[in-house]
Amino acid sequence: MTGPTAEHRSAFTVGEALTEGTRALQGLPDGSPRLEAELLLVKATARSRTHLTAWPEQVLDPGALASFELLVARRRSGEPIAYILGRQAFWSLDLRVTPDTLIPRPETELLVEIGLAGGDAGSSRQVADLGTGSGAIAAALAKERPHWLVIAVERSAAALGVARTNFSELGLSNCLAIRGDWLAPLASRSLDLILANPPYVPEGDPHLSRGDLRFEPLEALAAGTEGLDAIRVIAVEAGRCLRPGGLLALEHGFDQGQRARRLLADAGLRDPETRLDLAGHERVSLAWAD
Protein backbone atom coordinates (compact mmCIF):
# COMPACT_ATOMS: atom_id res chain seq x y z
CA MET A 1 0.00 0.00 0.00
CA THR A 2 1.38 3.34 -0.97
CA GLY A 3 0.50 6.48 0.92
CA PRO A 4 1.76 9.43 2.88
CA THR A 5 5.27 9.70 4.26
CA ALA A 6 6.07 8.11 7.61
CA GLU A 7 6.08 11.58 9.23
CA HIS A 8 2.53 12.26 8.08
CA ARG A 9 1.25 8.85 9.19
CA SER A 10 1.03 9.97 12.79
CA ALA A 11 -2.00 11.94 11.60
CA PHE A 12 -3.32 9.40 9.10
CA THR A 13 -7.14 9.34 9.31
CA VAL A 14 -9.68 6.60 8.78
CA GLY A 15 -10.79 8.23 5.54
CA GLU A 16 -7.23 8.46 4.22
CA ALA A 17 -6.58 4.83 5.12
CA LEU A 18 -9.71 3.69 3.31
CA THR A 19 -8.87 5.75 0.25
CA GLU A 20 -5.33 4.37 0.08
CA GLY A 21 -6.45 0.83 0.83
CA THR A 22 -9.13 0.94 -1.85
CA ARG A 23 -6.58 2.19 -4.38
CA ALA A 24 -4.11 -0.55 -3.42
CA LEU A 25 -6.71 -3.28 -3.86
CA GLN A 26 -7.83 -2.25 -7.33
CA GLY A 27 -7.47 -4.88 -10.05
CA LEU A 28 -7.75 -8.05 -7.97
CA PRO A 29 -9.84 -10.77 -9.70
CA ASP A 30 -13.39 -10.80 -8.31
CA GLY A 31 -12.34 -8.20 -5.76
CA SER A 32 -14.45 -5.48 -4.14
CA PRO A 33 -11.78 -2.91 -3.27
CA ARG A 34 -13.76 -0.49 -1.11
CA LEU A 35 -15.64 -3.20 0.79
CA GLU A 36 -12.47 -5.20 1.36
CA ALA A 37 -10.59 -2.11 2.54
CA GLU A 38 -13.36 -1.43 5.06
CA LEU A 39 -13.35 -5.04 6.31
CA LEU A 40 -9.57 -5.05 6.68
CA LEU A 41 -9.66 -1.78 8.60
CA VAL A 42 -12.34 -3.24 10.87
CA LYS A 43 -9.99 -6.11 11.65
CA ALA A 44 -7.00 -3.81 12.18
CA THR A 45 -8.84 -1.41 14.48
CA ALA A 46 -11.39 -3.72 16.15
CA ARG A 47 -14.00 -1.06 15.31
CA SER A 48 -17.28 -1.64 13.48
CA ARG A 49 -17.77 -0.59 9.86
CA THR A 50 -20.50 1.76 11.04
CA HIS A 51 -18.10 3.50 13.41
CA LEU A 52 -15.37 3.82 10.79
CA THR A 53 -17.62 5.21 8.08
CA ALA A 54 -19.30 7.61 10.53
CA TRP A 55 -15.97 9.06 11.72
CA PRO A 56 -13.69 9.28 8.67
CA GLU A 57 -11.72 12.15 10.23
CA GLN A 58 -10.65 10.05 13.22
CA VAL A 59 -6.87 9.72 13.44
CA LEU A 60 -5.65 6.12 13.38
CA ASP A 61 -3.37 4.73 16.02
CA PRO A 62 0.04 3.98 14.41
CA GLY A 63 -0.19 0.33 15.43
CA ALA A 64 -3.60 -0.04 13.81
CA LEU A 65 -2.30 1.64 10.65
CA ALA A 66 0.67 -0.73 10.50
CA SER A 67 -1.65 -3.71 10.99
CA PHE A 68 -3.95 -2.43 8.23
CA GLU A 69 -1.04 -2.07 5.79
CA LEU A 70 0.06 -5.64 6.48
CA LEU A 71 -3.48 -6.93 5.88
CA VAL A 72 -3.73 -4.99 2.62
CA ALA A 73 -0.38 -6.42 1.50
CA ARG A 74 -1.63 -9.95 2.18
CA ARG A 75 -4.74 -9.30 0.12
CA ARG A 76 -2.70 -7.76 -2.70
CA SER A 77 -0.69 -11.00 -2.84
CA GLY A 78 -3.92 -12.82 -3.70
CA GLU A 79 -4.64 -14.34 -0.30
CA PRO A 80 -8.42 -14.84 0.00
CA ILE A 81 -10.18 -12.22 2.05
CA ALA A 82 -11.95 -14.99 4.00
CA TYR A 83 -8.65 -16.39 5.27
CA ILE A 84 -7.37 -12.94 6.20
CA LEU A 85 -10.52 -12.13 8.15
CA GLY A 86 -10.94 -15.68 9.43
CA ARG A 87 -14.67 -15.56 8.66
CA GLN A 88 -17.01 -16.33 5.76
CA ALA A 89 -20.75 -15.92 5.30
CA PHE A 90 -22.68 -19.02 4.21
CA TRP A 91 -26.45 -19.47 4.14
CA SER A 92 -27.57 -17.26 7.05
CA LEU A 93 -24.45 -17.99 9.09
CA ASP A 94 -21.14 -16.30 9.84
CA LEU A 95 -18.53 -19.06 9.98
CA ARG A 96 -14.96 -19.31 11.13
CA VAL A 97 -12.60 -20.49 8.35
CA THR A 98 -8.87 -21.18 8.22
CA PRO A 99 -6.44 -22.41 5.54
CA ASP A 100 -7.22 -25.92 6.85
CA THR A 101 -10.72 -25.65 5.36
CA LEU A 102 -12.23 -24.79 2.02
CA ILE A 103 -13.90 -21.40 1.78
CA PRO A 104 -17.68 -22.03 1.62
CA ARG A 105 -19.10 -20.80 -1.68
CA PRO A 106 -22.60 -19.69 -2.67
CA GLU A 107 -23.11 -22.54 -5.15
CA THR A 108 -22.80 -25.05 -2.32
CA GLU A 109 -25.98 -23.63 -0.80
CA LEU A 110 -27.80 -25.72 -3.43
CA LEU A 111 -26.84 -28.79 -1.37
CA VAL A 112 -28.45 -27.22 1.69
CA GLU A 113 -31.64 -26.47 -0.26
CA ILE A 114 -31.84 -30.07 -1.47
CA GLY A 115 -31.23 -31.36 2.03
CA LEU A 116 -33.90 -29.18 3.61
CA ALA A 117 -36.44 -30.42 1.06
CA GLY A 118 -36.03 -33.86 2.60
CA GLY A 119 -38.15 -33.02 5.64
CA ASP A 120 -39.82 -30.13 7.44
CA ALA A 121 -38.77 -28.52 10.71
CA GLY A 122 -40.91 -30.88 12.77
CA SER A 123 -39.54 -34.06 11.22
CA SER A 124 -36.79 -36.31 12.55
CA ARG A 125 -33.88 -37.24 10.29
CA GLN A 126 -30.37 -38.58 10.67
CA VAL A 127 -28.08 -36.84 8.20
CA ALA A 128 -24.38 -36.97 7.28
CA ASP A 129 -22.30 -34.14 5.83
CA LEU A 130 -19.18 -35.79 4.41
CA GLY A 131 -15.89 -33.90 4.26
CA THR A 132 -17.50 -31.19 6.35
CA GLY A 133 -14.48 -28.83 6.40
CA SER A 134 -15.61 -25.71 8.25
CA GLY A 135 -18.94 -27.41 8.95
CA ALA A 136 -20.86 -25.06 6.67
CA ILE A 137 -23.38 -27.54 5.23
CA ALA A 138 -23.92 -29.33 8.53
CA ALA A 139 -24.37 -26.06 10.41
CA ALA A 140 -26.90 -24.71 7.91
CA LEU A 141 -28.97 -27.89 8.09
CA ALA A 142 -28.78 -28.09 11.87
CA LYS A 143 -29.82 -24.45 12.24
CA GLU A 144 -32.87 -24.88 10.00
CA ARG A 145 -33.82 -28.34 11.29
CA PRO A 146 -33.22 -28.45 15.07
CA HIS A 147 -34.83 -31.87 15.41
CA TRP A 148 -32.43 -33.49 12.97
CA LEU A 149 -29.21 -35.15 14.04
CA VAL A 150 -26.50 -33.92 11.66
CA ILE A 151 -23.27 -35.93 11.65
CA ALA A 152 -20.31 -33.99 10.28
CA VAL A 153 -17.55 -36.32 9.07
CA GLU A 154 -14.04 -35.06 8.33
CA ARG A 155 -10.68 -36.78 7.80
CA SER A 156 -8.57 -33.73 8.70
CA ALA A 157 -8.20 -33.20 12.44
CA ALA A 158 -7.44 -29.50 11.92
CA ALA A 159 -10.54 -28.93 9.77
CA LEU A 160 -12.69 -30.88 12.22
CA GLY A 161 -11.52 -28.58 14.98
CA VAL A 162 -12.74 -25.58 12.96
CA ALA A 163 -16.13 -27.27 12.41
CA ARG A 164 -16.49 -28.03 16.12
CA THR A 165 -15.72 -24.40 16.96
CA ASN A 166 -18.40 -23.23 14.53
CA PHE A 167 -20.98 -25.63 15.95
CA SER A 168 -20.18 -24.46 19.47
CA GLU A 169 -20.26 -20.74 18.61
CA LEU A 170 -23.61 -21.19 16.84
CA GLY A 171 -25.08 -23.21 19.70
CA LEU A 172 -25.84 -26.23 17.49
CA SER A 173 -26.27 -29.09 19.94
CA ASN A 174 -27.72 -31.30 17.19
CA CYS A 175 -24.40 -31.44 15.28
CA LEU A 176 -22.07 -34.35 15.97
CA ALA A 177 -18.54 -33.98 14.56
CA ILE A 178 -16.56 -37.18 14.04
CA ARG A 179 -13.25 -37.92 12.40
CA GLY A 180 -13.25 -40.42 9.56
CA ASP A 181 -12.91 -41.11 5.85
CA TRP A 182 -16.22 -40.46 4.13
CA LEU A 183 -18.80 -43.05 5.27
CA ALA A 184 -16.36 -45.52 6.87
CA PRO A 185 -17.21 -44.63 10.50
CA LEU A 186 -21.00 -44.75 9.99
CA ALA A 187 -23.28 -47.73 10.55
CA SER A 188 -25.20 -49.55 7.84
CA ARG A 189 -28.77 -48.37 7.16
CA SER A 190 -28.35 -45.50 9.63
CA LEU A 191 -28.92 -42.43 7.45
CA ASP A 192 -31.87 -40.75 5.78
CA LEU A 193 -29.75 -38.26 3.90
CA ILE A 194 -26.11 -37.94 2.81
CA LEU A 195 -24.72 -34.64 1.53
CA ALA A 196 -21.18 -34.05 0.34
CA ASN A 197 -19.06 -31.41 -1.32
CA PRO A 198 -16.08 -33.70 -1.99
CA PRO A 199 -12.89 -32.87 -3.89
CA TYR A 200 -13.67 -33.02 -7.62
CA VAL A 201 -10.97 -31.11 -9.45
CA PRO A 202 -8.74 -33.34 -11.63
CA GLU A 203 -5.19 -33.58 -10.35
CA GLY A 204 -2.92 -31.38 -12.46
CA ASP A 205 -5.74 -29.02 -13.45
CA PRO A 206 -4.15 -25.58 -14.02
CA HIS A 207 -6.89 -23.91 -11.97
CA LEU A 208 -5.32 -25.39 -8.84
CA SER A 209 -2.43 -22.95 -9.18
CA ARG A 210 -4.62 -19.89 -9.75
CA GLY A 211 -6.69 -17.51 -7.65
CA ASP A 212 -8.05 -18.57 -4.27
CA LEU A 213 -7.40 -22.25 -4.99
CA ARG A 214 -3.66 -21.66 -4.50
CA PHE A 215 -4.33 -21.07 -0.81
CA GLU A 216 -6.92 -23.77 -0.12
CA PRO A 217 -6.08 -27.33 1.05
CA LEU A 218 -5.25 -29.46 -2.00
CA GLU A 219 -6.68 -32.63 -0.46
CA ALA A 220 -10.07 -30.91 -0.30
CA LEU A 221 -9.92 -29.90 -3.97
CA ALA A 222 -8.34 -32.62 -6.13
CA ALA A 223 -9.38 -36.27 -6.46
CA GLY A 224 -7.65 -38.38 -9.11
CA THR A 225 -6.94 -37.81 -12.77
CA GLU A 226 -10.64 -37.21 -13.60
CA GLY A 227 -11.58 -35.61 -10.29
CA LEU A 228 -14.06 -38.42 -9.60
CA ASP A 229 -12.24 -40.64 -7.11
CA ALA A 230 -14.03 -39.32 -4.01
CA ILE A 231 -17.44 -39.28 -5.73
CA ARG A 232 -16.94 -42.92 -6.76
CA VAL A 233 -16.12 -44.03 -3.19
CA ILE A 234 -19.03 -42.13 -1.66
CA ALA A 235 -21.52 -43.48 -4.22
CA VAL A 236 -20.52 -47.08 -3.48
CA GLU A 237 -20.63 -46.64 0.30
CA ALA A 238 -23.92 -44.71 0.26
CA GLY A 239 -25.89 -47.82 -0.65
CA ARG A 240 -24.70 -49.44 2.58
CA CYS A 241 -25.45 -46.49 4.86
CA LEU A 242 -28.72 -45.15 3.49
CA ARG A 243 -32.06 -46.39 4.74
CA PRO A 244 -34.59 -47.42 2.07
CA GLY A 245 -35.68 -44.31 0.22
CA GLY A 246 -32.74 -42.31 1.58
CA LEU A 247 -31.08 -39.67 -0.57
CA LEU A 248 -27.48 -39.02 -1.60
CA ALA A 249 -26.63 -35.58 -3.04
CA LEU A 250 -23.12 -34.69 -4.25
CA GLU A 251 -21.63 -31.45 -5.52
CA HIS A 252 -19.35 -31.73 -8.56
CA GLY A 253 -17.81 -29.75 -11.40
CA PHE A 254 -19.94 -28.08 -14.07
CA ASP A 255 -18.87 -30.68 -16.68
CA GLN A 256 -19.13 -33.80 -14.48
CA GLY A 257 -22.89 -34.27 -14.27
CA GLN A 258 -23.20 -37.10 -16.78
CA ARG A 259 -20.30 -39.03 -15.28
CA ALA A 260 -21.60 -38.47 -11.74
CA ARG A 261 -25.03 -39.83 -12.68
CA ARG A 262 -23.39 -42.88 -14.20
CA LEU A 263 -21.40 -43.51 -11.02
CA LEU A 264 -24.55 -43.23 -8.91
CA ALA A 265 -26.39 -45.70 -11.15
CA ASP A 266 -23.43 -48.10 -11.21
CA ALA A 267 -23.44 -48.06 -7.41
CA GLY A 268 -27.03 -49.34 -7.39
CA LEU A 269 -28.75 -46.08 -6.53
CA ARG A 270 -31.95 -45.28 -8.41
CA ASP A 271 -33.26 -42.39 -10.47
CA PRO A 272 -30.07 -40.30 -10.65
CA GLU A 273 -30.58 -36.70 -11.69
CA THR A 274 -28.63 -33.45 -11.71
CA ARG A 275 -29.65 -30.01 -10.47
CA LEU A 276 -28.40 -26.70 -11.85
CA ASP A 277 -26.85 -23.89 -9.82
CA LEU A 278 -27.88 -20.24 -10.16
CA ALA A 279 -25.44 -19.80 -13.05
CA GLY A 280 -27.19 -22.60 -14.97
CA HIS A 281 -24.35 -25.11 -14.52
CA GLU A 282 -24.81 -28.74 -13.56
CA ARG A 283 -23.73 -28.67 -9.92
CA VAL A 284 -25.34 -31.36 -7.74
CA SER A 285 -26.24 -34.93 -8.67
CA LEU A 286 -28.53 -37.01 -6.51
CA ALA A 287 -30.03 -40.48 -6.31
CA TRP A 288 -32.03 -42.62 -3.93
CA ALA A 289 -31.50 -45.93 -2.15
CA ASP A 290 -33.94 -48.81 -2.67
208 lies in the same domain as 247: yes
In a domain, 243, yes or no: yes
pLDDT, position 122: 79
Q: Please tell me the least confidently modeled range out of 2-11, 18-27, 127-136, 265-274.
A: 2-11
Range 52-77 average pLDDT: 94
In a domain, 94, yes or no: no
Q: What is the CATH number of the domain that holds 13?
A: 1.10.8
pLDDT, position 121: 78
In a domain, 58, yes or no: yes
Q: Give the side-chain half-sphere CA count within 13 A for 32.
A: 7
Report CA torsion sign: 205, 152, 109, 252: positive
25 lies in the same domain as 122: no
Amino acid at 39: L
105 lies in the same domain as 70: no
**Domain boundary at 43, 78, 113, which?**
78
Could you give the CA distance from residue 167 to residue 95 in angstroms, rounded to a whole number? 9
Q: What is the CATH number of the domain that holds 200?
A: 3.40.50.150
The yes-or-no verdict on residue 66 having pLDDT over 50 is yes
32 lies in the same domain as 134: no
60 lies in the same domain as 170: no
pLDDT tens digits along 261-279: 999 999 999 999 999 999 9
Which residue, among 48, 151, 40, has the nearest Cα to 87 in the 3D structure? 40
**Domain boundary at 78, 111, 135, which?**
78
In a domain, 17, yes or no: yes
CB of 102 closer than 8 Å to CB of 217:
yes
Number of domains in the chain: 2
159 lies in the same domain as 238: yes
Range 120-142 average pLDDT: 94
109 lies in the same domain as 251: yes
Q: Which domain holds residue 188?
A: 99-288
- Please state the separation of Cα 100 from the chain's center in Å: 11
In a domain, 173, yes or no: yes
259 lies in the same domain as 137: yes
43 lies in the same domain as 173: no
SS3 content of the chain, % helix, strand, coil (to 5): 40, 20, 40
In a domain, 232, yes or no: yes
133 lies in the same domain as 58: no
Report CA torsion sign: 153, 155, 157, 158: negative
Range 233-247 average pLDDT: 97
pLDDT tens digits along 171-212: 999 999 999 999 999 999 999 999 999 999 999 999 999 888
In a domain, 31, yes or no: yes
Secondary structure letter of residue 91 according to DSSP: T
Could you give the CA distance from residue 217 to residue 42 in angstroms, rounded to a whole number? 27
Confidence of residue 119 (pLDDT cuts 50, 70, 90): confident
70 lies in the same domain as 129: no
21 lies in the same domain as 116: no
In a domain, 220, yes or no: yes
Helix/strand/coil (H/E/C) assignment for every residue in 4-54: CCCCHHHHCEHHHHHHHHHHHCCCCCCCCHHHHHHHHHHHHHCCCHHHHHH
pLDDT, position 1: 52
- 3-class DSSP state of 222: strand
Could you give the CA distance from residue 232 to residue 262 in angstroms, rounded to a whole number? 10
Report CA torsion sign: 225, 228, 233, 234: positive
Output the CA–CA distances (angstroms, integers) from residue 66 to 32, 47, 280, in the order listed: 22, 15, 44
Range 162-174 average pLDDT: 98
